[in-house]
Amino acid sequence: MILVRRNVVTEDWISTQFGTDDIKLQIANRMRMIDTIFTYKSEEILDFEVSARKELVRASERLNNSFFSFRLFKDSICNKRYWDRTEEGGFRLKKDASAYDAVRDILINSRMYGTECATAIVIVFYLALVEVFPKELFNRLFSDIYLMDWKYLDKDLGVRNYRGVKDAIPGDCLYFKNPDVNPDTPEWQGENVIKLMNDYYYGHGIGIKTAEGIIRDLNRNRIYNSERSAYLMDLIVKPDFKYLGEIKAGM
């Protein structure tokens, strides 16, 4: 259900608002139909979340189609024009670099980048936000980006975990867990993914697949004789869209 200023958003309103954009239309209708209640101060903030989710889907697809490679942190690479690679394998934005340009460069010069799957998801977050924020505001909000993993998230992303969520929406980050991973291949202990359209998921290194396809790949990397399958956790991770939308709207 969607509420804007305490009023229920109808299917007709969504069709009028998003009808010319099929992806946004599908996302908004999905939000309307599930049990989770989405509340907004204005139509503008709702539109921001729907637009950001669309860009998360597009960024995932673009990154998957690029030359951005999967590498362990010890072997990670980045474009030194914009980023300093740290000893632990993360990428820290150079002090004199534009965050907006640096994030866009990951797609422009994708051959120069490679890292693990958790960092790739954070990169997807930023790639989506450069499409919905003007350059000046993006640079002001995210002037100290450090791309590493979930431990080093910019507070202005407002990333939060939501447990026990049954209904994911395109743009949500989820996790497939492999409880009996082979210790010789620890990189297969699980897969961070972005939910796309039509029940597909993007994971860095594993590509774009259905849930069944991802579970099948993870199960190939279990300990010998394991009877426990990999599975999709009921955990959703996402930026604080309302907070970010209110910043853009100047609230």
Q: What digits encode the pLDDT tens for the residues 170-187?
A: 999 999 999 999 999 999
Question: What is the model's pLDDT at position 112?
Answer: 99
Does residue 176 form part of some domain?
yes
234 secondary structure, DSSP code: S
Question: How many structural domains compose the chain?
Answer: 1
Question: What is the model's pLDDT at position 247?
Answer: 95
Asked if pLDDT for residue 37 goes beyond 80, the answer is yes
Does residue 206 form part of some domain?
yes
Does residue 124 form part of some domain?
no
Does residue 126 form part of some domain?
no
Does residue 185 form part of some domain?
yes
Does residue 119 form part of some domain?
no
Does residue 219 form part of some domain?
yes
What domain range is 201 assigned to?
162-236
Joined together, the tokens standing for residue 127 give 């790639």
CA–CA distances in Å: residue 24 to residues 29, 197, 200, 207, 245 = 8, 11, 16, 23, 16
Asked if pLDDT for residue 251 goes beyond 80, the answer is no
Does residue 200 form part of some domain?
yes
